[in-house]
Amino acid sequence: MAFKSEVRDTIINSLLEKARERNYGKYLPRLTLRNLRGFKDEPISFDFPVTALIGPNGGGKTTVLGAAGIIYRDIPPRMFFAKSGKYDAGMQDWSIEYEVTDRENSPKAAVQRTASFKSLKWNRDAMSREVLVFGVSRTVPASERKELLRCTARKFVVPDSRVTALSESAATAISRVLGKDVSGFRQLKIAQNLDVTLLTGRTKADVEYSEFHFGAGESSVIRMISAIEAAGENAIVLIEEIENGLHPVATIRLVEYLIDAANRKKVQVIFTTHSNEALLPLPDKAVWAMTSDKAFQGKLDVKSLRAITGQIETDSVIFVEDAFAKIWIESILRCGDLPADHFEVHPMAGDGTAVAMNRYHNKNPSIKVPSLCFIDGDSKQHENEQEKVYRLPGESPEAYIFDQCMEKWSEIGGKLAVTMLQKFEDNEKVEEICRTVRTTNHDPHLLFAQVGEKLGLVPAQTVAQAFCAQWAQSNPQIVAEFLTKLKGES
């Protein structure tokens, strides 16, 4: 079943417009890594107030996260870019350029700033903004945190004056993310002169228990959301590996909360992740893929990063626009004389991203596995045989496959019905449903989902795979033309 976020499209579109118009008191719209670690003149734009950075280990996610933070006074550069004596000689001449919105100091125009590492120190004209940083250490269990050891004493207690309940807004948001009622949870300041707290929870039977019996992800969510709710408007929030310690459903809900916070409190959030679930509620412009020396904007499956960076065990990679094109190409491979397992097909969630990834992959001298790219018939990208970019037939892939199969229903209808989990003898009934759906359909991308619904909630992917498989089997000449393009890469 396709994912449906609980964040309304109107909110997503409103936030995209707000970022585009720079309609914030404080906001970081853009930075450029002029010379930082492996990046050379690499621009990163924050076109949505909640941005996800994905990539392999060492790909540069934390580099961008840290670069976003150090232009602000609250974040010392050593927090992300510490120098260790002679062992970090390569830091010399690192440089980051910024475009910053700060209505207090520049009501009309964006402010230009630079942070650079020269003469063995960081030089920056830092700006004022509230910054919240949540590193991976937030998921260290309470029992392993030295600052909480005093709380394990048998007679540990704190005065009521240092005990606070969670705010109503924080408790509501935390309860939704964790799927449990936290209205009875509290924070204990363990010493008057220390900014260290211990959390306590409460069972349904009204029994109190300490953070030493929390899950690490549970503590992390409570502390993050409490801090964000306590922050003022226009703060920037930096989160390392947002999914750490969380169930996939909780990860989705946490990202949805961050979008809600961006809408209510005008906060800007940048987080790193290895989780596909963390990307689901976000629009394409909110995702950047890092590959150690390049950055690509657009949503894609995290698993596809292995292909982009050459971390694969296959003969060739095929980049396509979306999940349907992946199904189509894989159906073609299964009908040919090439070993299908010698190819990996990766959907990129957009034609521009697919073409860019293919170009980067083939130009990277460290990657030995070649790649191709297939764009949809209605793509505005151009075919380029030299760069191995080819176009799929038909204006709309879904409509093309659907119509081609319907034209041959008398030949393939029975098999098509069976592969859609229907009885062979019911193929006339299935045909009638398919033709009715085609007549009433306004969006070809929904054709297979609509047919599946009419057939008794058959998954859209199952219907799409059935149509693609039958199309491939009944069009050997077109399949042969596709395979000709692939044979040089196997």
pLDDT tens-digit readout, 56-79: 778 889 999 999 999 999 999 999
Place of tokens 């150690």: 292
- Is 0.85 topped by the overall pTM? no
Asked whether the predicted pLDDT for residue 365 surpasses 60, the reply is yes
CA distance linking residue 411 with residue 408, whole number of Å: 5
The token pair that represents 448 in the structure block: 């297979």
**CA distance between the termini of the chain:** 33
Place of tokens 């969670």: 166
Evaluate whether 225 touches 171 at the Cβ level (below 8 Å).
no
Strand partners for 390: 374
Nearest to 126 by CA among 66, 77, 57, 63: 77
* DSSP structural state of residue 195: -
Q: Which residues touch 442 (CB under 8 Å, ≥6 apart)?
A: none
The fold of 9-134+229-290 is Rossmann fold (3.40.50)
pLDDT computed for residue 196 by the predictor:
86
Evaluate whether 433 touches 483 at the Cβ level (below 8 Å).
no
CA distance linking residue 181 with residue 233, whole number of Å: 27
Place of tokens 């704190």: 158
Place of tokens 């449903």: 433
Domain boundaries, the chain: 9-134+229-290, 142-214, 300-490
CA distance linking residue 172 with residue 225, whole number of Å: 10
CA distance linking residue 3 with residue 121, whole number of Å: 47
Residue range 280-322, pLDDT digits in tens:
999 989 999 888 778 888 877 666 666 565 555 567 889 999 8
Do β-strands 268-273 and 287-290 pair in parallel, antiparallel, or remain unpaired?
unpaired
pLDDT computed for residue 480 by the predictor:
87
Residue range 388-444, pLDDT digits in tens:
999 998 888 999 999 999 999 999 999 999 999 999 999 899 999 999 999 999 999
Evaluate whether 256 touches 12 at the Cβ level (below 8 Å).
no
